[in-house]
Chain A
Amino acid sequence: MRHDKSPVLVFDPRGVVDLAVTPLSPRKSTLAGLRLGVLDNAKWNANKLLRGASAALGADIAFAAVNYYVKHSFSKDAAPELIEEIARDNDIVLTAIGDCGSCCSCCIRDAVALEKLGVPAAAIITTEFVRETQLTRLALGVPDFEPVVINHPVSSITSEEIGARVRQIRERAERIWTGGLID
């Protein structure tokens, strides 16, 4: 029983987020002649999806090179050395696949790490993880970051279904790299 008149306090249990908003890396005016880095997170079907997408993009765009990388674990961030190597040897990046909670988070984190090193990065996620991506990019201080969203699921689909996903990736990735999605 309180008898004094000190105020009733409400304590916020969330703690502050020490956040600095970071702009995205500069977009590319043209894609021809650029080096495309492809970062595979080793999740089921990421390989088929990325090889299909980079082949489809390569049919439209005369890339100077397409470099393929695989990270060790889909549920962990790529090693900083790998991110630095990709940023050093490439002008734009395509990465996949964010089709589970931890893989989506880490996929976005890898892409944002590349953006912070000056490389426009298109991260492919599935429809089920749009909301998680929105919150993750806010937590990372890059509210302008836009993912490539394709239909869920990915890990259990057939080759024909992968073809349909590849078509979804193609146009959206180009627009991310060139700034076509940025208002």
Chain B
Amino acid sequence: MPVAPARAEPLSHDIADVDLVELYFERGWTDGLPVVPPTREKVDAVVAALGGDPGYVECKVAPRWGSLTREVLAVNMVMAGCRPEYAPVVRAAMLALTDPAFNLNGVQATTHVAAPLVVVNGPIARAIGMNGGANAFGSGNRANATIGRAIRLVMLNVGGGRAPDLDKCTLGNPAKYTYCICENEEASPLAPYQVEHGYAPDQSTVFAIAAEAPHSVTDHHCNDPEGILDTMCSAMSTIASNTAVLSGHCAVALGLEHARTIARHGWTRNDIKSYLWLNSGNRFDAHSRGHRYGKVYNRNLPKWYKREPDSRIPIVESPERIHLFVVGGHAGRFSAFIPGWGHMSTPVLRPIDGTALTSDGECADGMCKL
């Protein structure tokens, strides 16, 4: 399909005449923060890192369905402050977000606070200096911050997801500026996430989930898996989250101290996820408010759930729908629960730059790959 390259409009011949930072604000092309004004040289360097061919359409971005050519992706990456070597990660993230299963149209338009959380695994995270350690979800790391910001700029500019028009989000969420981390694989006592899912440890992946912000889980005194995970279950077992009402998927960011205590007892990823699944959730009576506002069935929950007042309604349909990552710094007995948007969006895990999936079908827990 022929698509025109990004429009590069010549202005003045004297840079002193133009305040480019203000001009990008005036055009409505920023996320509310100043952007790095793209230059021909910077854009071309990112296009080269993407494999050249600036007019190649990587994907179309809902709900505006703008064409994301490599050149347009490069423009947004430069604006976000990305280095060219981040390009494979940003591209893989956009391909994950535009996978039909992810339902980016709905994620962009929803009144809910959901934002795509992107988690990077594998050697590329280390190669480009991403942070999965102390303050991983916070500020201070260029790769985390600008990769997440580039994704958001593409969602805003190419996808047209601007509030209050095509983004109908009621409250917003700070994660709608940037929401990208890597797993702390070097310090984690567990298998990395991508290995659990059948990739080799030297393969790099992106994982994208439409999610709320991290909800802190504080547990300073439990010294065994059951105690720590019961605290996590407490955070998971609310009727207020979209995950509770609409099922789907959720994520758990297990802090290092918690992860080490749990691993010392010989627990694996599968043990952790199964325990969390079995011991979280709500009674149906809490969901239906005792039918105070009329008879409630809730068609958004799986049809095989029993709907009697005392029936347990799991927080998600199966342990596999709890996506577990080990994240954070060495000190602090904190973890986080990250509710999802609901069953309307399926998280996507995909390789970065075509690394192949090599599942042997016999490694349910991932540890055998290490």
Contacts and interface: CB of A to CB of B under 8 A. Distances in A.
Does B bind A?
A: yes
Interface stretch (B102-110, B135-143, B276-284, B354-362): B102-110
Interface in B227-274: none
Contacts of A14: 29, 66, 72, 157-158, 160
A141 to B, nearest CB: 9
Given A6-B13, A9-B10, A135-B160, A15 B20 contact: no
A168 interface: no
A109 interface: yes
B167 A101 contact: yes
A13 B345 CA distance: 26
Given A75-B344, A102-B110, A106-B106, A11 B6 contact: yes
B110 A8 contact: no
A10 interface: yes
8 contacts: A7-B13, A9-B39, A12-B7, A15-B67, A16-B4, A16-B66, A75-B106, A104-B109
A109 B107 CA distance: 15
Nearest to A6: B13
Contact of A7 (B12, B60, B63, B300): B12
Contact of B69 (A15, A42, A102): A15
Given A13-B79, A14-B29, A16-B67, A100 B168 contact: yes
A8 B64 contact: no
Contacts of A132: 109, 165-166, 168
B175 interface: no
Given A15-B68, A15-B158, A132-B168, A101 B8 contact: no
A105 interface: yes
A129 interface: yes
Interface in A61-116: 70, 73-77, 100-102, 104-106, 109
Contacts of B305: none
Contacts of B169: 101
A154 to B, nearest CB: 13
B3 interface: yes
Q: Secondary structure of the B side of the interface? A: loop
A5 B11 CA distance: 12
B262 to A, nearest CB: 35
Given A13-B29, A17-B67, A132-B168, A7 B106 contact: no
Contacts of A105: 63, 105-106, 109, 166
Nearest to A17: B66
Contact of A8 (B13, B61, B66, B165): B13
A70 to B, nearest CB: 8
Given A11-B9, A14-B66, A15-B68, 4 more contacts: A10-B8, A16-B67, A70-B299, A101-B167
Contacts of B4: 16
A160 interface: no
A131 B166 CA distance: 8
A18 interface: yes
B300 A106 contact: no
B153 A2 contact: no
A75 B110 contact: yes
B114 to A, nearest CB: 9
Interface in A125-146: 128-129, 131-132, 135-136, 139
Most buried by B among A2, A14, A73, A77: A14
Contacts of B27: 10
A8 B20 contact: yes
A8 B11 contact: yes
Contact of B109 (A70, A73, A102): A102
Nearest to A106: B106
A76 B300 CA distance: 12
B32 interface: no
B110 A12 contact: no
Contacts of B39: 9
A79 B109 CA distance: 19
B43 interface: yes
A11 B13 contact: no
B54 to A, nearest CB: 11
Given A101-B109, A105-B109, A131 B164 contact: yes
Contact of A101 (B3, B79, B168): B168
B166 A135 contact: yes
Contacts of B299: 42, 70
Interface string B299-326: 1100000000000000000000000000
B344 A109 contact: no
